[in-house]
A and B are shown apart, each in its own frame.
Chain A
């Protein structure tokens, strides 16, 4: 298969304009004849559904939460980037483009990343118009702060709840279209299968999570906006019900999966407290501005942290990265913590954490200053752990957080399955091998509001005479039968093991071998273990209750089926990439002082995998051509 990214001609700054000038358009009267399914109502999905409906299309939108207002986008705290240069600090589209490309370790497309930066400024205008209460200065203009990996202040925020406010704005715009009867919203409905007719995505099979009923929905095009898949690790900072099923179903129906192994591990989450823990809470990265990270020098340290004298503490980030110290980038800090924990120096009951200590900054700046900077975070920490971090160091630990990989899409956000689009975190498009903070809300939003609603017309222009797609087609019956079959197989299985216990084990394999650092042996072992676990799942899984009812255990089991297959591809991808880049660190490929060794000569491509059958994948490569910048080496020493 030849992968054509369909990048428009011209200079970087003209590409999107050129595209807009030349793509085919559909007039509003004709849009009314076209149906579009949007799966997901997070920032990407809600934005797309609302904007498509405003344009005139008939939209059906699905989400598994009880209302679209709760999509995982709601949990983002930090902020959203935009090159507005309000701070007069020399920011512009080019600089933002370059920071993002470099942050991604030159494993993304120049044209896509430039467009992301280009559309960031109008996006802030859009959200302000929709009533997002962004932080403001006293004079009434918008405020900014800085975020990791850049030297300018371009992050817009709404207190510590930026994702919430952006999502609620999208939700309100979606609500307006629901009221106008242009969007039909299906909450507590989960898409189970993509229906393909004559090589084109033409519909979905959906399970009503309350009644357990399956239903068929047809459309002229299907848009996936289903978020990330880091929940494959079981423990992550993602919401509990996030899953990769829609991506995986699309992949099995012919959409290539790009860079599946590129997942980001965030350095400052709260550690797992017990085997039964379900979820890892993110603590803002900003804490690293004033906290010092350390572990005891003694492996069998039994003393409380405050009783350990200075000379018996190992400030390992300061030791290894004197120039950046505690502010080393996410991937590097996470890896360094893992190294100490694996070597047996971890702290806490499960010896899986490191200390983040404010003692020195409180002594230097006073408790009040620290409180004014991080008061809400210290409160949150107290709520969760019962510990007062003003008097005792916090315990933090790295946690799976974001997936850069996802469905391969071209410049139009079109997957390799005609008529199927992927937007937001579920595509691979803009972040390369590592995502910069505050760039993801941006990507989800511009995909949904500005890009997809235009590019999809270029495809649908051929469908004006197609008429309604019938759900009586054999492809619908087959897809529905396979879904029914899956659920029956699970529920009739007479096993002994709960879904969570199996998912936890998958998570452990992935965390050990396919997270912060990877080796050939480890990945090969993981692949064997995943295959065994998959077999065990089908023999041993136990789900009670019925199919035709509200059954959360069954929902989880069906998602785990897909994770058990996807996990293998993640390992296969990590194994294939014999280099270290961004969040992908192969221990075999490092410099003598332990830094990532990228190999541009052999690996300057996007890995896009084709599904043959379970455990059998074919690699296609999209060569990355850097016409406008010269890839450089990241150094933080």
Chain B
């Protein structure tokens, strides 16, 4: 295959960026998109140019580090799939593929396709945990948790923190991400003690970080690699109202 890559180049957070087109040959359909970028980077380096910066680590769809806006979609042409799982067979031969960073005020650009998602970490630091120290935990089976509840908690806990929900949302809202963590912990008896304060503090921090409000377009659940559903946000909003009513 032969592809034209139209890629956002931006040296650092302070400088302006622009698109640049790079034709690339010798691509095979079985290659992943990131491998095609590896190939492009080798060619660029051989020519003395700087490589395109992009984030990635596991390349298995689980770490959440990758994330490129591909042809106008977060994580590319398929629903519910990470960038590292996109393969070249998903594109037409001779076509142009546009690659941009995930854009949101709360995700400043680091370089080229790399963004800073530490705002997610700061949301978690507000209470995305259970306040228990190491040591002295009760015997695990002494607190039974029904299978359905455990499965629901697992569904929510599966979020990989990739930020696609934010990148795809016209309001750049982090509601899907935040609700997933709240619902995971609030669903479990261990996490329930802190449910209201957790809900309140995480939602407040989300706003503090400059993420927009959710207007229920549902765009996020289409891109979410872990199938976190839109109803998760509704549940968070309900709990948030409760938290406000009960003053946390």
**Chain A contacts to B: CB under 8 angstroms:** 47, 50-51, 54, 65-70, 72, 74-75, 84, 86, 122, 124-126, 128-131, 133-142, 158-159, 161, 164-165, 168, 171-173, 175-176, 178-179, 185, 187, 210, 239-241, 273-274, 276-279, 281-282, 383-386, 449-450, 453, 496, 498, 500-501, 542-545, 549-553
Instruction: Look across to chain A and name the residue whose beta carbon is closest to the beta carbon of B137.
Output: A129
Which residue, of B11, B154, B190, has the highest number of chain A Cβ atoms within 10 A?
Answer: B154
Contacts of B63 in A (CB 8 A): 65, 70, 72, 74-75, 239
Q: B58 to A74, Cβ gap below 8 A? A: yes
A333 and B89 CA atoms in complex are apart in Å by 32
A-B contact pairs, 21 of them (CB 8 A): A54-B134, A66-B118, A129-B130, A130-B132, A133-B151, A133-B153, A139-B144, A164-B62, A165-B154, A165-B157, A187-B118, A239-B63, A240-B58, A241-B57, A276-B31, A277-B35, A278-B34, A281-B60, A386-B89, A544-B48, A551-B50
A158 and B157 CA atoms in complex are apart in Å by 10
Which residue, of B130, B138, B141, has the highest number of chain A Cβ atoms within 10 A?
Answer: B141
Question: Distance in Å from the Cβ of A43 to the closest Cβ of chain B?
Answer: 13
Contacts of B114 in A (CB 8 A): 550
Q: A276 to B147, Cβ gap below 8 A? A: no
A279 and B65 CA atoms in complex are apart in Å by 15
Q: Given the interface contacts A75-B58, A159-B154, A172-B124, does A140 sit within 8 Å of B140 by beta carbon?
A: no
Instruction: Look across to chain B and name the residue whose beta carbon is closest to the beta carbon of A64.
Output: B57
Contacts of B41 in A (CB 8 A): 498, 553
Q: Given the interface contacts A70-B57, A128-B137, A136-B145, does A276 sit within 8 Å of B111 by beta carbon?
A: no
A548 and B133 CA atoms in complex are apart in Å by 40
Contacts of B101 in A (CB 8 A): none
Which residue, of A70, A122, A141, A549, has the highest number of chain B Cβ atoms within 10 A?
Answer: A70
A129 and B133 CA atoms in complex are apart in Å by 9
User: Which B91-144 residues sit within 8 Å CB-CB of chain A?
Assistant: 110-111, 114, 116-118, 120-121, 124-126, 128-135, 137-141, 143-144
With A133-B153, A274-B30 given, name 6 new contacts (CB 8 A): A131-B188, A172-B130, A176-B129, A241-B57, A278-B34, A550-B114
Contacts of B34 in A (CB 8 A): 278
Q: Given the interface contacts A67-B161, A161-B158, A552-B51, does A274 sit within 8 Å of B28 by beta carbon?
A: yes
Question: Distance in Å from the Cβ of B104 to the closest Cβ of chain A?
Answer: 15
Among candidates B110, B132, B145, B146, residue contacting A210 with C-beta atoms closer than 8 Å: B110
A140 and B144 CA atoms in complex are apart in Å by 4
Q: A69 to B64, Cβ gap below 8 A? A: yes
Q: Given the interface contacts A172-B130, A273-B30, does A142 sit within 8 Å of B141 by beta carbon?
A: yes
Q: B188 to A72, Cβ gap below 8 A? A: no
Instruction: Look across to chain B and name the residue whose beta carbon is closest to the beta carbon of A69.
Output: B161
Contacts of B39 in A (CB 8 A): 276
Contacts of A210 in B (CB 8 A): 110-111
Q: B140 to A125, Cβ gap below 8 A? A: yes
Instruction: Please tell me the number of chain B residues within 8 Å of chain A, measured between CB atoms.
Output: 77
Q: A176 to B116, Cβ gap below 8 A? A: no
Contacts of B85 in A (CB 8 A): 383-384
Q: A131 to B59, Cβ gap below 8 A? A: no
Q: Given the interface contacts A133-B153, A136-B147, A139-B144, does A549 sit within 8 Å of B35 by beta carbon?
A: no
Closest 3 CB pairs of A and B: A140-B144, A172-B129, A129-B137
A228 and B228 CA atoms in complex are apart in Å by 32
Q: Given the interface contacts A544-B48, A549-B111, does A131 sit within 8 Å of B35 by beta carbon?
A: no
A553 and B117 CA atoms in complex are apart in Å by 22
Among candidates B58, B134, B143, residue contacting A453 with C-beta atoms closer than 8 Å: B134
A417 and B101 CA atoms in complex are apart in Å by 44
Question: Distance in Å from the Cβ of A241 to the closest Cβ of chain B?
Answer: 5
Instruction: Look across to chain B and name the residue whose beta carbon is closest to the beta carbon of A137.
Output: B147
Question: Distance in Å from the Cβ of B141 to the closest Cβ of chain A?
Answer: 5
Q: What number of residue pairs across chains A and B have CB atoms under 8 A from each other?
A: 218
A534 and B185 CA atoms in complex are apart in Å by 50
Question: Distance in Å from the Cβ of A272 to the closest Cβ of chain B?
Answer: 10
Instruction: Look across to chain B and name the residue whose beta carbon is closest to the beta carbon of A68.
Output: B121
Q: A500 to B38, Cβ gap below 8 A? A: yes
Question: Distance in Å from the Cβ of A504 to the closest Cβ of chain B?
Answer: 10
Contacts of A273 in B (CB 8 A): 28, 30-31
Contacts of B60 in A (CB 8 A): 75, 279, 281-282
Q: B150 to A136, Cβ gap below 8 A? A: yes
Q: B128 to A501, Cβ gap below 8 A? A: no
Contacts of A128 in B (CB 8 A): 137, 140, 143, 190
Is B73 among interface residues, defined by CB-CB distance under 8 A? no
Among candidates A65, A67, A134, A281, residue contacting B120 with C-beta atoms closer than 8 Å: A67
Q: B125 to A175, Cβ gap below 8 A? A: yes
Question: Distance in Å from the Cβ of A449 to the closest Cβ of chain B?
Answer: 5
Instruction: Look across to chain B and name the residue whose beta carbon is closest to the beta carbon of A71.
Output: B63
Q: B132 to A129, Cβ gap below 8 A? A: yes
Instruction: Look across to chain A and name the residue whose beta carbon is closest to the beta carbon of B133.
Output: A54
Contacts of B28 in A (CB 8 A): 273-274
A351 and B62 CA atoms in complex are apart in Å by 29
When each residue 4-25 of chain B gets 1 if its CB lies under 8 Å from chain A and 0 otherwise, what string results? 0000000110000000000000
Is B44 among interface residues, defined by CB-CB distance under 8 A? yes
Contacts of A501 in B (CB 8 A): 42
A142 and B48 CA atoms in complex are apart in Å by 57
Q: Given the interface contacts A140-B144, A239-B58, does A498 sit within 8 Å of B137 by beta carbon?
A: no
Question: Distance in Å from the Cβ of B179 to the closest Cβ of chain A?
Answer: 16
Q: B62 to A129, Cβ gap below 8 A? A: no
Q: Given the interface contacts A141-B141, A239-B63, A276-B35, does A66 sit within 8 Å of B154 by beta carbon?
A: no
Contacts of B138 in A (CB 8 A): 125, 129
Instruction: Look across to chain A and name the residue whose beta carbon is closest to the beta carbon of B63.
Output: A70
When each residue 65-94 of chain B gets 1 if its CB lies under 8 Å from chain A and 0 otherwise, what string results? 100000000000000010001010100000
Contacts of A176 in B (CB 8 A): 125, 129, 131
When each residue 25-54 of chain B gets 1 if its CB lies under 8 Å from chain A and 0 otherwise, what string results? 000111110110011011011101111010
A175 and B202 CA atoms in complex are apart in Å by 13
Q: B134 to A131, Cβ gap below 8 A? A: no
Q: B125 to A178, Cβ gap below 8 A? A: yes
Among candidates B62, B144, B150, residue contacting A133 with C-beta atoms closer than 8 Å: B150
Is B160 among interface residues, defined by CB-CB distance under 8 A? yes
Instruction: Look across to chain A and name the residue whose beta carbon is closest to the beta carbon of B57.
Output: A239
Q: A552 to B53, Cβ gap below 8 A? A: yes
Contacts of B147 in A (CB 8 A): 136-138, 140
Question: Distance in Å from the Cβ of B192 to the closest Cβ of chain A?
Answer: 10
Among candidates A135, A168, A496, residue contacting B46 with C-beta atoms closer than 8 Å: A496
Q: A65 to B57, Cβ gap below 8 A? A: yes
A276 and B88 CA atoms in complex are apart in Å by 13
Among candidates A72, A126, A131, A168, residue contacting B57 with C-beta atoms closer than 8 Å: A72
